Structure 1
């Protein structure tokens, strides 16, 4: 009787999961960037005053670094990339505005996904990203992005499909649950998002390709059969699937570093110039001593006053076009002589 109940429960859960999959499939087209706009960016040659694929990809790398620095989840990063690409596919953006747009996309995504206590302040993001804008600039740009996207910021992304596909597979398999690592799949998805071309793929197809490639490495016939059922339910065209699967395979081969093959557990290394380090707030690379709490329970307001330092920045992230300025810097995961922050 217990086995029958377990089988019935699993079957009922499977029906609910496939029902959610149908809902995602109905929504994905609405939140996908305009292909025409993405194609225009792809066809744009590198120039000082035009947005090219290299600048877009570099900005996504910056978003990934900001996500790691502030300890935000993968959902925040993926949604930020979705908002960024949808906006870039709609508007003609100059490279000088890209840093401000990137910060806005990160903040908008963080406010949707993260707990309120985990959302970084605008001033903190400005200071860490070193973008050449003020809090007022961020506020105005956030309004522009929201209006252009008709305030539909919360989107159905490839990560939603990846999580759902993963759950469906585990729900129907008799194999060990731990053999299919969701952390590894998420890291691979982040690597794909760092390339503009994958923004043209349907989120459902991109997620299915990642899962299919991982299952093939496991050489599990049962898991492959389950994926075939998922592929059939998703109505994925064979030609489309093979095309994107090949591109994903090439991308993952190039991103075969440890950061892409397993969860991001390393500390984030931030390489900066001396000039940049001098302009940073001390609290970002040192831990201040906490004031002693009086036994009488009194609160000393003088100890909690804001330092009131200027939040203006002189440098920008490495996504900006390269220059001879000695103040430029970039995020890196390699060990180097630099300031080290927890991820």
Structure 2
């Protein structure tokens, strides 16, 4: 429509020119105008065609962009779904592993409870056996004729502290029977002993472990034995007992003195918070009857090291004060 208007407008101009001008000049002007009009019309046609092509390309590009956007949405949705599935699977695996660990911990707690109960039962049985053993020793030492005849057994084999301790743990009771002879003259024969640990450096002794002092310096009356660490009173009287226990740095020990299985005194050493050696010592005076058993043992489980060497001696001593 626009080109038709341009042509009509140009025709009108040509008519006007032919009316006012005549001859060759007017015709030349009219021809030139028509040529230019044709060129303008052709250019306008080409522009319309190019515009139409551009519109078609734009439509194609929009379609392609729309497809790309849809594909991106589908891909992102798929990736998101896969990520959620993997996270859900990981969470599920973690939950299963957590439940498995909880079950194993519950089983371990039950096993620990059973071990604790069995340990308590074993300690009770040990104490019962210890009481029975003490009663048997007392009975034998009071009733056997060897005690009055002064027979001293020579067949006992010396044992190390560790060996004796292991045998006690394994067998609960010692099978070696001690027979302590009384003094020939009970009114004059002195009773006294002193012994120490020659070399000792052992960690973590359990509760109620009997201490054995293997080096004997004095043993008048032959009441103390270096093989089991027990003093058996040769005769009735009031005795004084003294002990000294050395401990390594950062250690804790509590040692009690026992007469026939009953504690009558206790002493402790605590170096857990200090960087130095410790010493625990105790002194008791008590009445002891003929055949009574006196020894030292751990009151609690020892934390750290019990020590004895040429600089620090752990020792045990006792003597009859009067009868």
TM-score by length of 1: 0.22
Q: Which has the higher strand share?
A: 2
TM-score by length of 2: 0.23
Q: Which has the higher helix share?
A: 1
Which structure would you say has the larger RCO, counting Cα contacts within 8 Å and 6 or more residues apart? Answer: 1
